[in-house]
Amino acid sequence: MKALKLILLISLMTSCAVPKSQFFEIDEVSKTITISESKDNVFVKSNLWLVDSFVSAKSVLQYSDKEAGVIAGKFTIMEDPYRTDINKGVEAVIKIFVREENVEVKIKPLPYPRYQSYGSRNEAVKDVIISNVNRLLNDFEKYINTTEL
Protein backbone atom coordinates (compact mmCIF):
# COMPACT_ATOMS: atom_id res chain seq x y z
CA MET A 1 0.00 0.00 0.00
CA LYS A 2 2.87 2.37 0.83
CA ALA A 3 4.45 1.62 -2.52
CA LEU A 4 1.19 2.45 -4.31
CA LYS A 5 0.89 5.75 -2.42
CA LEU A 6 4.49 6.60 -3.29
CA ILE A 7 3.93 5.84 -6.97
CA LEU A 8 0.76 7.94 -7.00
CA LEU A 9 2.54 10.82 -5.27
CA ILE A 10 5.46 10.71 -7.72
CA SER A 11 3.18 10.50 -10.75
CA LEU A 12 1.07 13.38 -9.44
CA MET A 13 4.13 15.56 -8.92
CA THR A 14 5.64 14.83 -12.32
CA SER A 15 2.35 15.17 -14.21
CA CYS A 16 1.87 18.69 -12.86
CA ALA A 17 5.35 19.81 -13.78
CA VAL A 18 5.46 22.97 -15.86
CA PRO A 19 7.93 23.00 -18.74
CA LYS A 20 10.83 25.30 -18.07
CA SER A 21 10.82 28.42 -20.19
CA GLN A 22 13.82 30.41 -21.25
CA PHE A 23 14.22 33.74 -22.97
CA PHE A 24 15.68 33.71 -26.45
CA GLU A 25 17.65 36.68 -27.65
CA ILE A 26 18.44 37.57 -31.22
CA ASP A 27 21.19 40.02 -32.09
CA GLU A 28 20.39 43.40 -33.53
CA VAL A 29 20.48 43.53 -37.32
CA SER A 30 21.35 46.76 -39.12
CA LYS A 31 21.62 48.05 -42.65
CA THR A 32 23.15 51.27 -43.95
CA ILE A 33 21.78 52.68 -47.18
CA THR A 34 23.47 55.40 -49.22
CA ILE A 35 21.03 58.15 -50.15
CA SER A 36 21.05 60.78 -52.88
CA GLU A 37 18.09 62.81 -51.59
CA SER A 38 17.88 65.43 -48.90
CA LYS A 39 17.85 64.34 -45.29
CA ASP A 40 14.37 65.86 -44.87
CA ASN A 41 12.89 63.83 -47.73
CA VAL A 42 14.40 60.60 -46.44
CA PHE A 43 13.12 61.38 -42.93
CA VAL A 44 9.57 61.84 -44.28
CA LYS A 45 9.85 58.67 -46.39
CA SER A 46 11.07 56.74 -43.33
CA ASN A 47 8.03 57.85 -41.34
CA LEU A 48 5.70 56.95 -44.19
CA TRP A 49 7.31 53.52 -44.53
CA LEU A 50 6.75 52.90 -40.82
CA VAL A 51 3.09 53.88 -41.14
CA ASP A 52 2.63 51.59 -44.17
CA SER A 53 4.58 48.65 -42.71
CA PHE A 54 3.35 48.50 -39.13
CA VAL A 55 -0.43 48.59 -39.03
CA SER A 56 -0.98 46.66 -35.79
CA ALA A 57 -2.42 48.51 -32.81
CA LYS A 58 0.59 47.23 -30.85
CA SER A 59 3.00 49.03 -33.19
CA VAL A 60 4.00 52.35 -31.73
CA LEU A 61 6.25 55.21 -32.78
CA GLN A 62 8.04 56.01 -29.54
CA TYR A 63 10.40 58.79 -30.60
CA SER A 64 10.81 61.02 -33.62
CA ASP A 65 13.20 63.99 -33.94
CA LYS A 66 13.52 65.48 -37.41
CA GLU A 67 16.49 67.73 -36.57
CA ALA A 68 18.48 64.84 -35.09
CA GLY A 69 17.25 62.51 -37.83
CA VAL A 70 16.15 59.82 -35.39
CA ILE A 71 13.01 57.68 -35.41
CA ALA A 72 12.42 54.87 -32.91
CA GLY A 73 9.49 52.57 -32.41
CA LYS A 74 8.30 49.19 -31.21
CA PHE A 75 6.31 46.70 -33.27
CA THR A 76 5.19 43.09 -33.46
CA ILE A 77 7.44 41.41 -35.98
CA MET A 78 5.42 38.21 -36.13
CA GLU A 79 3.00 35.97 -34.32
CA ASP A 80 4.66 32.87 -32.88
CA PRO A 81 2.68 29.97 -34.38
CA TYR A 82 3.77 27.57 -31.63
CA ARG A 83 2.61 29.69 -28.70
CA THR A 84 -0.90 29.16 -27.42
CA ASP A 85 -1.06 31.83 -24.73
CA ILE A 86 -2.29 35.37 -25.17
CA ASN A 87 1.21 36.85 -25.65
CA LYS A 88 1.96 35.21 -28.99
CA GLY A 89 3.58 38.25 -30.57
CA VAL A 90 7.33 38.55 -31.00
CA GLU A 91 8.17 42.23 -30.60
CA ALA A 92 11.10 44.25 -31.88
CA VAL A 93 12.51 47.76 -31.58
CA ILE A 94 13.36 49.67 -34.73
CA LYS A 95 15.67 52.68 -34.86
CA ILE A 96 16.23 54.75 -37.98
CA PHE A 97 19.09 57.25 -38.16
CA VAL A 98 18.86 59.63 -41.12
CA ARG A 99 22.12 61.40 -41.98
CA GLU A 100 23.22 63.60 -44.88
CA GLU A 101 24.81 60.78 -46.92
CA ASN A 102 23.06 57.67 -45.61
CA VAL A 103 20.30 56.21 -43.51
CA GLU A 104 20.90 53.43 -41.01
CA VAL A 105 18.15 51.08 -39.85
CA LYS A 106 18.58 48.89 -36.77
CA ILE A 107 16.08 46.22 -35.74
CA LYS A 108 16.43 44.38 -32.43
CA PRO A 109 13.92 41.63 -31.61
CA LEU A 110 13.10 41.76 -27.90
CA PRO A 111 13.81 38.71 -25.73
CA TYR A 112 10.82 36.40 -25.70
CA PRO A 113 9.98 33.31 -23.65
CA ARG A 114 9.90 29.85 -25.21
CA TYR A 115 9.54 26.50 -23.53
CA GLN A 116 12.66 24.36 -23.71
CA SER A 117 10.51 21.34 -24.51
CA TYR A 118 9.75 22.82 -27.94
CA GLY A 119 13.25 21.83 -29.07
CA SER A 120 13.72 22.34 -32.80
CA ARG A 121 10.65 24.58 -32.98
CA ASN A 122 12.65 27.20 -31.06
CA GLU A 123 15.31 27.31 -33.78
CA ALA A 124 12.63 27.39 -36.48
CA VAL A 125 11.00 30.42 -34.86
CA LYS A 126 14.38 32.17 -34.53
CA ASP A 127 15.06 31.54 -38.23
CA VAL A 128 11.67 32.98 -39.19
CA ILE A 129 12.27 36.07 -37.04
CA ILE A 130 15.68 36.69 -38.62
CA SER A 131 14.15 36.19 -42.06
CA ASN A 132 11.39 38.71 -41.25
CA VAL A 133 13.95 41.24 -40.01
CA ASN A 134 15.97 40.92 -43.21
CA ARG A 135 12.82 41.20 -45.33
CA LEU A 136 11.87 44.41 -43.51
CA LEU A 137 15.33 45.88 -44.05
CA ASN A 138 15.15 45.08 -47.77
CA ASP A 139 11.61 46.52 -47.97
CA PHE A 140 12.84 49.71 -46.32
CA GLU A 141 15.73 50.05 -48.76
CA LYS A 142 13.43 49.51 -51.74
CA TYR A 143 10.91 52.04 -50.37
CA ILE A 144 13.57 54.70 -49.79
CA ASN A 145 15.10 54.21 -53.24
CA THR A 146 11.91 53.98 -55.31
CA THR A 147 9.19 56.03 -53.62
CA GLU A 148 8.67 59.61 -54.74
CA LEU A 149 7.28 62.30 -52.48
- Residue 45: what residue type? K
The HSE-up count of residue 72 (CA atoms within 13 Å, CB side) is 7
First to last CA, the chain: 82
Distance CA 143, CA 149 (A): 11
Q: How many Å apart are CA 43 and CA 77, to the nearest integer?
A: 22
- pLDDT at site 114: 67
In the prediction, which pLDDT does 16 show? Answer: 54
Q: At residue 81, what are phi and psi to the nearest 5 degrees? A: -70, -15
Residue 15 pLDDT more than 60? no
Please state the rounded mean pLDDT for residues 139-143. Answer: 95
More confident residue, 136 or 123: 136
Confidence of residue 14 (pLDDT cuts 50, 70, 90): low
Higher pLDDT: 1 or 130? It is 130
Q: What is the mean pLDDT of the chain?
A: 83
pLDDT digits (tens, 9 = 90+) for 68-96: 999 999 998 887 666 666 666 788 999 99
- On the 0-12 / 13-18 / 19+ scale of CB atoms within 10 A, 46 is buried
Please name which of 105, 94, 93, 89 lies closest in space to residue 145, comparing C-alpha atoms.
Answer: 105
pLDDT at position 47? 93
CA dihedral 73, 74, 77, 83 (to 10 degrees): 180
How does pLDDT run across 29-61, given as a tens digit for each residue?
999 999 999 999 999 999 999 989 887 777 888
Q: Is the pLDDT of residue 19 over 70?
A: no
pLDDT tens-digit readout, 100-119: 999 999 999 998 776 655 55
Distance between CA atoms of 17 and 10, rounded to whole angstroms?
Answer: 11
